[in-house]
Every structure is written in structure tokens, then in C-alpha cells.
Amino acid sequence: MELKTLFSEGKIGNVRIKNRIIRSATYESRATKDGYVTDQLIEFYDELAKGGTGLINAGASIVDPTGIGVLRMTLIYDDSYISGQKKLVKTVHNYSDVKISAQLAHMGSQVTHSNYDIVGPSPLRVPVSKRVARELKTKEVKEVINSFVKAGVRVYESGYDMVQLHAGHGYLLSDFISPFSNNRTDEYGGNTQKRTKILVDIYNQLRDEVGKNFPITIKLNIRDYLRRGLTFEEGKEIAKILADLGYDAIEPTSGRVNFKVSGKKRFPYVVIKSPEEENYFLPYVKDLRSIIKNCSLILMGGIRNPLSAEKFLQKGIADFISMSRPLIYEPDLPNRWKNGDTSPALCTSCTACLRTGLKRQVHCIVKRKLERKSIKKNKV
């Protein structure tokens, strides 16, 4: 099978993308301890851009110092971060046909920095940290919205091609849309529309600032996998609200990184043991496609085989596919596929890479071990 659709041009908003491959935003652990762009981070994205990905979603940039999740994340809560971000964007744009998006996030109840409270729409005890999130006051919610809007403007000024909000995985924005974590009685809690209001307000205010031609996209939890949590039926309703509002693309995801969920799997990072377990968000995206026609739909979650991806795209199930772990192992994977080697990604989906960022730069442990073995063998 030729990968005609996978390597055909696509659009998000008015931005043309050379192929249908997106690098899903991934924490890199390469910023300074104060969140500034480093040479190591720029080199990381230079390699990705060189590898043939059409659109790179950069790892989450934090919109407020109270929202820092782990060390060495990039920050963008004041103008001092813009110069470094511009250098990163320029590096990617040196490859004239590669686009880059910035992802904005506030970690909410998953903040690990001891200097700050963990916060959320309602009090919530976090199993991992054993801490209890403090409920944000209505005034503070509006301040969070303003932080996202100002950060979005900095993204625009830094030269990014678009921006993505992170509303998944139990971070602050996804906590607002979930009935599991949002028991508020003000304008930001209650029914589906009120719990979605924070995402509506951010979009409307940011759109006023950046104009109609700068795409605003979202990574969106569409199911929690928790008792009394967000169901897929309600997740679909939220996705439709945001698509009708004007979001230019939705990347559906599910689960929380700090709760075990059904089938002893941890969403969104499932360990894949067989080809049958790949593409684990496909059923949800198929269902969403029937109600979302007016914005791009991005399929993520265990995509390893380009032939399968080609079929999904040909059928119109999704407009783009996005990958994270495979591009940690093989940043040049898109070029390999385009050049005729259509064997699946070398990534084994062991998910060990997620732990590496806690102590050092995020990397593939399997690949690193193989490289060390090769070096020892050559020395012998």
C-alpha cells in the first residue's frame, strides 16, 4: 500500500501542513530549572524537524508558576521567555515545510513543586502525592483564564504557527470539565456547559487577541475512566461545543496520569503488547467523527503501523495522526516511512521513557541500552 494520504498535505485552520503526521506534545526535561529554553532543547527539536514530522506540538509550556508540574519544564508566564521561544521556533522553521505549535498547560492538582499549593476546581485528594487540592475562588479562576490568554499571546509573538491548550490527563483544565473533580456551584461548575465555560472563555478571549487566522487547538479528555467521572457521552457533548465554538482542531485523549483505570491500563499511556492493542483511541475518534465536521480531528494513542494509519486517513475517520513515544525512539520515523520502509515503529510502547524525565532528559531506555551494547561490541 502506498502512503498517499499519510504524506498528503493537510490543513488546521488556514495553516498548511506538509503531511498528516503530528508529534504529540511530550515533556522533554530540557529547559533550565527556571523554565527557559536551552541549547539542548533546541537540538532536540532540530532533530525532530529534520525527521520529517509535519507539525510538531512542543512539550507543555506552563502559563503560571503555580502550575509547574515537574522540574525543567518550559515556562511562558512572562515576556522574559519569549526570546528563547523565538530561537526554538526559528530552528524548526529552518526546515521551511515544518510547522510548530506550542502547548499551554497548568498542572493543577498534579503540581509537585513544594513552594506552591496544588489547586483545582474543587477539593481533591491526589493519591500519588497524598496532598489535597485547594479549591480556586471564582476570582482565581478568572486569573487562570487570563494567564492562558496572555501565554497564548506570547506564543503568537514568538512566531509559533498555532497554539494548543492541554485539557487532558487530570491537569487543571481537564479537572474543570470532569464531574469527578468539579463540584463547584458558581458559573464554572454544575452542568456540562458550565464546566466547559473555562475552555470557552479562554478561546473567546484569546481569539480576540490573536485574530481569526491563528489556529487554536485543544488536547481534550473525552472520558475519565473513573466512577462519577466524565463519561464518553458527555465528552462527545463537550467536544461538539468546542468544535462549534471555533477550535480549529481537537486531539481526543482520556484518563488521568495518576489513577489506575479499567483493565489495569494507565491511560493515556498504554503499554501495547500486541498489534491488536494499538490505536486504542480509534473507537472514540470514529464516534466523534459523526458529530464533528467543522474542525480537524487528530487520532492519537498507540499508532505504530503506517499502513493502518493510511487506512484511517483514507476513510476520513481522522484528519491527522499524532505520535509521542515512537518519535522519542525514532525522530526520523516519518522520513523512514516516506522513503519506503513501512515497517512499524521500533518503539515497543514500554512507557519507560516517561520516568526518565524525573531525573534527567527524557529519552528511550531501550534505544539507549542498544546503543551502549553496540559501543561495547565495537570496542571489543
**What is the mean pLDDT of the segment spanning 207-235?**
94
Phi, psi of 22 (to 5 degrees): -120, 140
The average confidence (pLDDT) of the chain is 91
Name the least confident of 208-217, 241-250, 328-337, 361-370: 361-370
* Phi-psi label, residue 101: left if phi above 0, alpha if psi -120 to 50, beta otherwise: beta
CATH number of 10-348: 3.20.20.70
Q: What is the pLDDT of residue 261?
A: 46
The percentage of the chain sitting over the pLDDT mark of 90, rounded to a whole number, equals: 73
Got the DSSP string for 12-37?
ETTEEESSSEEE-------S-TTS--
Q: Quote the pLDDT of residue 262.
A: 40
Question: 270: pLDDT confidence band, cut at 50, 70 and 90?
Answer: confident
Question: 78-108: buried (b, 16+ CB within 10 Å) or exposed (e) per residue?
Answer: eeebbebbebbbebbbebeebbbbbbbbbbb
Contact (CB, 8 A) for 124 and 109: yes
Between 72-76, 202-206, 269-273, the lowest mean confidence (pLDDT) is in 269-273
Q: What is the DSSP letter of 77?
A: S
Cis peptide before 252 (omega within 30 of 0): no
> Per the structure block, which three cell numbers stand in for 177?
470539565
Nearest partner of 256 among 175, 169, 355, judged by Cα: 169
- Summarize the confidence of residues 14-26 as an average pLDDT: 97
Q: What is the pLDDT of residue 96?
A: 86
Contacts of residue 147, defined as CB under 8 A and 6 or more positions apart, other chains included, come to: 63, 64, 67, 77, 106
What pLDDT score does 97 carry? 94
State the residue for C-alpha cell 473507537.
283
pLDDT of 117 reads 80
Total-model pTM:
0.94
- Determine the Cα–Cα distance for residues 210 and 227; give it in Å rounded to an integer: 39
Spatial CA neighbour of 108 closest among 174, 43, 162, 59: 174
Q: What pLDDT does residue 370 have?
A: 78
**Confidence class of residue 376 from pLDDT cuts 50, 70 and 90?**
low
pLDDT digits over 237-262, tens only? 999 999 999 999 999 999 876 655 44
User: What's the pLDDT score for residue 266?
Assistant: 57
The pLDDT tens digits for 125-169 are: 877 677 889 999 999 999 999 999 999 999 999 999 999 999 998
- Helix (H), strand (E), coil (C) string for 300-311: CCCCCCHHHHHH
Grid look-up 499519510 returns: 6
Q: Which residues pair with 134 in a beta bridge?
A: 119
Mean pLDDT over residues 278-307, rounded? 94
If you average pLDDT over residues 332-347, what whole number do you get?
A: 96
CB burial of 326-335 (b: ≥16 within 10 Å; e: otherwise) equals: bbbbbbbbbe
Direct distance between the N- and C-terminal alpha carbons of the chain, in angstroms, rounded to an integer = 42
pLDDT in tens, 94-136: 998 999 999 999 999 888 766 778 899 999 887 767 788 999 9
> Range with the lowest mean pLDDT among 13-22, 170-179, 332-341, 359-368?
359-368
Residue-wise pLDDT for 28-81, tens only, equals 889 999 999 999 999 999 999 999 999 999 999 999 988 987 788 999 999 999
| Rounded CA separation 124/133 (Å) | 5
pLDDT of 343 strictly over 90: yes
Q: Is 227 exposed, middle or buried (0-12, 13-18, 19+ CB in 10 A)?
A: exposed
pLDDT in the model for residue 263: 40
pLDDT at 258: 63
pLDDT for 227: 82
Report the alpha-carbon distance of residue 223 to residue 246 in Å, rounded: 21
> Confidence class of residue 186 from pLDDT cuts 50, 70 and 90?
very high
Distance of CA 361 to the CA centre of its chain: 18
